[in-house]
Amino acid sequence: MGSREVLGQAARLASSGLLLQVLFRLITFVLNAFILRFLSKEIVGIVNVRLTLLYSTTVFLAREAFRRACLSGGAQRDWNQTFNLLWLTVPLGMFWSLLLGWVWLQLLEVPDPNAVPHYGSGVVLFGLSAVVELLGEPFWVLAQAQMFVKLKVIAESLSVIFKSVLTAFLVLWSPHWGLYIFSLAQLFYTAVLVLCYVIYFTKLLGSSESTKQQTLPVSRMTDMLPSITRSRAFVNWKEAKLTWSFFKQSFLKQILTEGERYVMTFLNVLNFGDQGVYDIVNNLGSLVARLIFQPIEESFYIFFAKVLERGKDATLQKQEDMAVAATVLESLLKLALLAGLTITVFGFAYSQLALDIYGGVMLSSGSGPVLLRSYCLYVLLLAINGVTECFTFAAMSKEEVDRYNFTMLALSSSFLVLSYLLTQWCGSVGFILANCFNMGIRITQSLCFIHRYYRKSPHRPLAGLCLSPALLGAFALSGGITGISEVLLCCEQGWPARLAHIAVGALCLGMTVGTAFLTETRLIHFVRTQLGVSRLADKTL
């Protein structure tokens, strides 16, 4: 498969993933607003911070390294060995689930059972749901490698919809169930997700006339189960060693990704109610970031991993592939920078209004607006880091990945210390400031790698981080106008003034977007081209 075909599939995967994330986040957004009217913020804090941290830590540590290593392999591989390696995620997940479950039950502060009932059952069911999700890992990796976009969209959409419906029903029917509501919904979500993948491949492999079946490396479902033969090793040791390298990195990356939740959970710097408010604001602040940046990062990591040969110098790569990769990286950096700046500039003036509409006085008063404004700056760094790291991790050699682990170790340690100190000084905003500091260091590391990688080639993808003076002026003018509008029109003057404030923001946003269309013609051409390729691929498939 040529680099341009892979690019078309990656663009299609990113656009479909974007639509999928929109659906997920809108459902979660509405569901959280609904739940806030019926349950206490203490229960929200326990579920969204402590139990979700247990689930995400178990799943991340058990599978992230395996996913990165197995998706980096070329077309010529023994898939039986790859499946054997992937099935190791299940016992590893059981180990982490039992260990972390014991920590959550025995070493952490147990909430008051009158305010948060059924905490122990919640820990057990969230840990079990993580193990259930790992049962579908071989099917997920094969689907991603074959770029079965519709499968991912359907499976995850159905899972989220069913989980949301069940949660809403139980909240209305039996709010006294407490954590049982969210635990059962989480377990139901993972079961539906795995069943969708199993049913899809069962039907696909059972149809002899399927054109997709002819391109698969397996011919029946049993081929994806663990198998032992004397003619070959149980696993591909090159993939296994790469997995170990990514595992050490994943452990550190998880601390950076969920660092504030670890500090809140283990150091008790905030009570359960404040944790609930912080998590709501955090989810609201990251809504657009996850809608846009996460599907792009996941999809184009696959693109770079397929187009570039890991660990090989840029001068030794295929020049056509190098040119395509450089163009894509430059365009993605430009897109991430524009999206991040837009969120940062307009988020400052509309944070308080957004919180007031979403959660009322409980969120819009106190530290809520300051939290969300700080998060808007963090989103800009998230956008740039997502693109730079998806290229860096796809192009690094195993030795470079190992060296990068030492940097991640230093970042993890500094983040934990810095977040604790800043939280003591300025409350929950300290978590976001610590994240900004560490994200800046990670971006610097990735930019240095990209600069060295392309140093001997004629391509300069880091030019994507430069904007025209006219566009920078449009952002500055919009920030000033919307800031004045917030002072004059928002948020105590009633809805007529609020609507006027929104109208001012819409006009400024239109001016900024129009300036971007006139000045960033290469980016506009890239986006239009990839959307066209994505639609064409949809029609042919």
**Per-residue confidence (pLDDT) for residue 536, from 0 to 100:** 44
DSSP character string of 239-272: HHHHHHHHHHHHHHHHHHHSHHHHHHHHH--S-H
pTM of the model: 0.70
Among 409, 429, 406, 410, which residue's Cα sits nearest to residue 419?
Answer: 429
CA pair distance 238, 399, nearest whole angstrom: 13
CA pair distance 83, 77, nearest whole angstrom: 11
User: Which contiguous run of DSSP H or E holds residue 92?
Assistant: helix 89-106
Mean pLDDT of the chain: 83
Per-residue pLDDT band for 525 (boundaries 50, 70, 90) equals confident
Residues ≥6 apart with Cβ < 8 Å to 252: 405, 408, 409, 411, 412
**Per-residue confidence (pLDDT) for residue 531, from 0 to 100:** 56
Question: Ramachandran region of residue 366, left (φ > 0), alpha (ψ -120 to 50) or beta?
Answer: left
DSSP character string of 452-512: HHTTTSS--GGGGG---HHHHHHHHHHHHHHHHHHHHHSSSS-HHHHHHHHHHHHHHHHHH
**Per-residue confidence (pLDDT) for residue 212, from 0 to 100:** 55
Candidate ranges 188-192, 290-294, 318-322; pick with highest mean pLDDT: 188-192
**Per-residue confidence (pLDDT) for residue 25, from 0 to 100:** 62
Per-residue pLDDT band for 365 (boundaries 50, 70, 90) equals confident
On the question of pLDDT at 288 being above 70, the answer is no
Q: Tokens 């490698």 — which residue?
A: 145
Residues ≥6 apart with Cβ < 8 Å to 271: none
User: Which contiguous run of DSSP H or E holds residue 39?
Assistant: none
On the question of pLDDT at 18 being above 60, the answer is no
Which comes out higher in pLDDT, residue 130 or 21?
130
Sign of CA dihedral 444, 460, 288, 49: negative
Angle at which helix 89-106 crosses helix 119-134, to 10 degrees, equals 170
Q: Tokens 């395509």 — which residue?
A: 324
Asked if 213 and 205 count as a contact pair (C-beta separation under 8 A), the reply is yes
CA pair distance 470, 406, nearest whole angstrom: 41
Per-residue pLDDT band for 505 (boundaries 50, 70, 90) equals very high
pLDDT in tens, 342-360: 999 999 999 989 888 877 7
The one-letter amino acid at 211: T
Taking residues 464-481, report their average pLDDT: 94
Tokens of 519: 């000045």
**Per-residue confidence (pLDDT) for residue 310, from 0 to 100:** 78
**Per-residue confidence (pLDDT) for residue 431, from 0 to 100:** 87
Tokens of 288: 């657009």
Residues ≥6 apart with Cβ < 8 Å to 493: none
**Per-residue confidence (pLDDT) for residue 363, from 0 to 100:** 74
CA pair distance 213, 196, nearest whole angstrom: 17
Taking residues 295-309, report their average pLDDT: 80
Interior CA angle at 215 toward 210 and 220, to 5°?
70
pLDDT in tens, 105-124: 999 988 888 888 889 999 99
CA pair distance 295, 304, nearest whole angstrom: 14
Q: DSSP code of 309?
A: P
Asked if 511 and 479 count as a contact pair (C-beta separation under 8 A), the reply is no
Taking residues 43-64, report their average pLDDT: 90
- Where b means 16+ CB within 10 Å and e means fewer, 280-311 reads bbbbbbbbbbbbbbbbbbbbbbbbbbbbbebe
On the question of pLDDT at 208 being above 80, the answer is no
Per-residue pLDDT band for 97 (boundaries 50, 70, 90) equals very high
Which comes out higher in pLDDT, residue 39 or 165?
165
